[in-house]
Structure 1
Amino acid sequence: MTARWWQKGVIYQIYPRSFQDMDGDGIGDLKGIARRLDYLAELGIDAIWISPIYPSPMADFGYDVADYRGIDPRFGTLADFDALLAAAHARGMKLLLDFVPNHSSDQHPWFIESRASRTNPKRDWYIWRDAAPGGGPPNNWISDFGGSAWQWDEATGQYYYHAFLKEQPDLNWRNPDLRAAMMDVLRFWLDRGVDGFRIDVLWHMVKAADFPDNPPNPDYRPSMGEMHSLLQLHSTDQPEIHDIAAEMRRLADCYGDRVLIGEIYLPLDRLMHYYGREQAGVHLPFNFQLIEAPWNARGLAQMIAAYEAALPPGGWPNWVLGNHDRPRIAARLGEAQARVATMLLLTLRGTPTLYYGDELGIGHVEIAADRVQDPRELREPGLGLGRDPVRTPMPWDESPNAGFTTGTPWLPLNPDWPMRNVARQAGEPGSPLMLHRRLLALRRTHAALSIGDIRLIDTEGDMLAYERHADGERLLVALNLGHDPQRFVPPRWARGACLLLSTIDDPVAGDGEALMFRPDEGMILAPQDNS
């Protein structure tokens, strides 16, 4: 196949507040990202995705946008952005922006106009409703951060809808003028040369026109968070969203080889609709299954097979282990099994997305109550839903504050940063960082790992195995997902195969017919004749 860059490449997500601070205010910035581009190039990634950098009051740390065409002064200027984009392109890397189309900040000029009066021309750019008969919110919809999703506006005597914080009013994508204005935002950044967008909460963007109550969730438990007490049947995933996604796709395609990635947390059958049907949808509806999957070989094999079978014709797969909202993989599985998970991520068919810091094996970071920043944790404390632990500063070296800042970091560092940092791991052949570098190098040199087909192999016990093949090359990936040794008999074509890489750095043992896998070990093997 003739693969596009986003099919054979690897995407790396940067949370800009936490990557590198150059001005000493304790918050990362665009000049900091530019400073670390050589690190990213050496790591072997192909594109960087930067979480929101637009002007914002930071009620939700940039996901409350006050100006879609600017750069928040905390991060720099438009000139800094243009310089970063040029520097990334000079190194052969693409740059993706986070597009936040579902809601703006309540400080955005559009919303200030919208709430000025019921007759303002921009009133319908947001979602306003009268109180329910007898008073109270128009329906029972709940914010994803807990509490009613409706906020009363005393001045105009109506409620406005916010799927997240009250400081994040939802935009009304049923209004053609709003829709045109947001498409112009995409044009603004595409004209500057960005290579695509990750589209925030794409499945939230259109609501049922008559705003019926959402039904109760029969499986709800308080530990899940209040948002899960209802099924978001009418407040998300409406059929009209697919026409909007198709319009975004047509626009992106006008600029050549750009990519649109949709953030969509939906069951598999509904997720697939976002590739498009009669019209093309986003290129990559994010596949978050690895983040939530029970970590066992049979379950993962079934999940991989079901996902591959569900893809529509021409649909390209993608995989993610973590992001700015979900616990880090090393926190969930431990460092040893996180290495195996990394091999899985980087050898499955499809586009992988890495999250900054995961290449170091950063685990859970405890955030003291007086250091909590995340509004989700502040609104529903004690449920473990806070996102601060996955947004802590990147540890670069053993200098003060791990080389992240000369000031006070906005969040505490991982407590083991003197030992777990880039400089230290770059000098340790068996470190998580060096494993990532070797895996990414293998993807570049073996087309079978980047664009090849996949075939799952029957296994026993805790073993997960599959073949990747392309252009006459065949590779075997075998992973021990357990904490005990495993004996694995490879398929006949792979007997006597050469070891390309193990997650454990010493020679592999075998008994002639079978390979003995140590606890938490993964391997990539190539047959000696590779035929």
Structure 2
Amino acid sequence: MKHLTLAVAALAMIAAPVSAKTDPYAPASFEGVKHPAWSQKAVIYQINTRQFTPAGTIKAAEAQLARLKALGVDILWLMPVQPIGVTNRKGTLGSPYSIRDYRAVNPELGTMAELKAFVAAAHAQGMHVVLDWVANHTSWDNALVTQHPDWYEHDWQGKMHPTPWWDWSDIVDLNYARPGLRRYMEESMLMFVREAGIDGFRCDVAGYVPPDFWAKVRRDAGAIRPVWMLAEWGQRDLHMSAFDASYGWDWAKPLMAIGQGRGDVSGLFGYFSENESAWPSGAQRMVFTSNHDENSWAGTEYERYGPALTNATVLQFTGEGIPLIYNGQEAANDRRLIFFERDPIVWKEAPQRADYQRLIALRDAHPALWNAPWGARMVHVVNSEPAKVFSFVRAKGGDAVLVAQNYSAAGITATLDAVPYPGDWREEGGATVKLDKGSSLTIAPWTSRIFTRRF
């Protein structure tokens, strides 16, 4: 009940007081937090430092920054850099999410000085760095276990315990009913903002921590510099007081169902309907075909999306959402990286790198495709093959992009219904065509056609 009680209290605090002159029926703002300007066109790149380079260190990762800049990414998400617990450790090296000391850097990865150098070098390249933060739990041998046992959850036997129901035996749950814990945790986070130059946080299982804690962290970190925060969570309310972005897990589900022969294009409608109708207008929902969890535990993007992967990637960068690239995707990594051991990515040249560069450049060049709230909503373009062809337009400020995707194994000619901003559209890498109600598009199997228009 601790999370429910604190969450209710926090939401009550978030509601602004109503003055005597305010219409009590006037709607409150439903935009969400104000995002830093640098997140306007941002694409996220996740670095699993242990596996990112043969050396597996922060210093070695710094040497790759020019390559990442050339790829076109903007926000670098570093997985946890702190020392890892030994007690109840899983595997040889343990999980980066089992934190032994919040205010130190894992010597296997490097030093605090090397972390600061990495962040400074990223800033020099025009990129920003967010640090993965694990606030819900610690390792069993974190000093807080003995110094502040009251800061932890206890079960019916009076014993500390891992997060209930999950097989997270290497960690022990914290109790956010304790003001001392809140103070310590926030001070630890702000230390990385002040001293290391960190630009924000990706917050692990963010919904397991009371929202009023995150809201205070957001306010206090924002007083140091504009920060950006990503919640590993899939519910909308955290956007109102603390988080810029959250996980769009439900975006991926229909795409995987299509690729595995279990669904069709109609499965996408539910996600985009809810995204537009139920979520804050400024919510940046992270869309991805892989990340550290998906790759290690669920399978590679090739296993999970099958022939739908190419279209899913196009949709990542042209539909609504803030895109994520997991390290190695640009090198066509087709292995499940071992989570608790050293298992470096095998880097090789692959067409995926050019594909990402092209899609990021397209996104950068068209304001309609930018992140919320700067970009445009998707407008569904009805077509004659609704189970197989997904088509939409995004348009803003005289800039429009039309995307038509064939999610089937056969070439399809689809007739379009009403097209927003009818007229001459230029196909990406191709000729100019006239698109209007009744126009037909022929689309090859499992591919997309992208058109742009200025009006």
Deviation at 1:394, TM superposition (A): 2.2
1:83 aligns with 2:117: yes
Aligned to 2:332: 361
Aligned to 1:142: none
Change (3 A) 1:345 1:304: same
Aligned to 2:13: none
Contact 1:12 1:47 in 2 (8 A): yes
Contact 1:7 1:316 in 2 (8 A): no
Aligned to 1:40: 68
Specify the SS of the correspondent of 1:467: strand
Deviations 1:60-92 (A, max 9, x none): 421111111111111011111011011100000
Aligned to 1:325: 293
Deviation at 1:254, TM superposition (A): 1.4
Contact 2:75 2:127 in 1 (8 A): yes
Change (3 A) 1:448 1:3: farther
Deviation at 1:130, TM superposition (A): 4.3
Specify the SS of the correspondent of 2:361: helix
Q: State how 1:117-156 maps to structure 2 within 5 Å.
A: 122-131=148-157
Distance in 2 (alpha carbons) for counterparts of 1:515 and 1:331? 30
Aligned to 2:245: 284
2:310 to 335, 339, 353: 339
Aligned to 2:375: 452
Contact 2:162 2:171 in 1 (8 A): yes
Deviations 1:400-446 (A, max 9, x none): xxxxxxxxxxxxxxxxxxxxx2xx32xxxxx1221111001111111
1:258 aligns with 2:227: yes
Deviation at 1:364, TM superposition (A): 4.8
Change (3 A) 1:519 1:34: same
Contact 1:495 1:513 in 2 (8 A): no
What 5-or-longer segments of structure 2 have no aligned partner?
1-33, 259-263
Deviation at 1:43, TM superposition (A): 0.5
Distance in 2 (alpha carbons) for counterparts of 1:313 and 1:351? 14
Identity %: 28
1:107 to 141, 146, 151: 141
Contact 2:85 2:140 in 1 (8 A): no
Distance in 2 (alpha carbons) for counterparts of 1:73 and 1:88? 21
Change (3 A) 1:350 1:165: closer
Distance in 2 (alpha carbons) for counterparts of 1:475 and 1:331? 30
Distance in 2 (alpha carbons) for counterparts of 1:91 and 1:458? 42
Aligned to 1:186: 189
1:394 aligns with 2:345: yes
Q: State how 1:218-297 maps to structure 2 within 5 Å.
A: 241-265=210-234, 271-276=235-240, 280-293=241-254, 294-295=257-258, 296-297=264-265
Specify the SS of the correspondent of 1:482: coil
Deviations 1:230-279 (A, max 9, x none): xxxxxxxxxxx1212211221232123211111115xxxxx012113xxx
Distance in 2 (alpha carbons) for counterparts of 1:68 and 1:432? 36
Contact 1:476 1:494 in 2 (8 A): no
Change (3 A) 1:185 1:329: same
Deviation at 1:281, TM superposition (A): 2.7
2:50 to 17, 24, 46: 17
Distance in 1 (alpha carbons) for counterparts of 2:71 and 2:145? 42
Contact 1:320 1:354 in 2 (8 A): yes
What 5-or-longer segments of structure 1 have no aligned partner?
23-27, 114-121, 132-157, 206-240, 266-270, 375-387, 397-420, 426-430
Deviations 1:172-220 (A, max 9, x none): 1110001100010111011021110000011123xxxxxxxxxxxxxxx
Contact 1:345 1:352 in 2 (8 A): yes
Q: State how 1:431-470 maps to structure 2 within 5 Å.
A: 431-450=351-370, 451-453=374-376, 454-459=378-383, 460=385, 461-470=387-396
- Structure scoring higher RCO (CA < 8 A, sep ≥ 6) equals 2
Deviation at 1:523, TM superposition (A): 1.9
Distance in 2 (alpha carbons) for counterparts of 1:50 and 1:195? 11
Aligned to 1:377: none
Contact 2:140 2:170 in 1 (8 A): yes
Deviation at 1:393, TM superposition (A): 2.7
- Look up the equivalent residue of 1:103 and give its one-letter code: H
Distance in 2 (alpha carbons) for counterparts of 1:373 and 1:489? 47
Specify the SS of the correspondent of 2:442: strand
Contact 1:55 1:72 in 2 (8 A): yes
Contact 1:330 1:361 in 2 (8 A): no
- The Cα RMSD (Å) is 2.6
Specify the SS of the correspondent of 2:172: coil
Deviation at 1:167, TM superposition (A): 2.8
Say which is worse superposed, 256-265 or 73-82, in terms of deviation.
Answer: 256-265
Q: TM-score, normalised by structure 1?
A: 0.69
Contact 1:275 1:312 in 2 (8 A): yes
Aligned to 1:515: 441
Deviation at 1:310, TM superposition (A): 1.0
Distance in 2 (alpha carbons) for counterparts of 1:303 and 1:314? 16
Aligned to 1:300: 268
Deviation at 1:494, TM superposition (A): 4.9
Deviations 1:469-524 (A, max 9, x none): 1211111011112221121334554555211159xxx999x9x9422100111121
Deviations 1:371-415 (A, max 9, x none): x665xxxxxxxxxxxxx8xx953222xxxxxxxxxxxxxxxxxxx
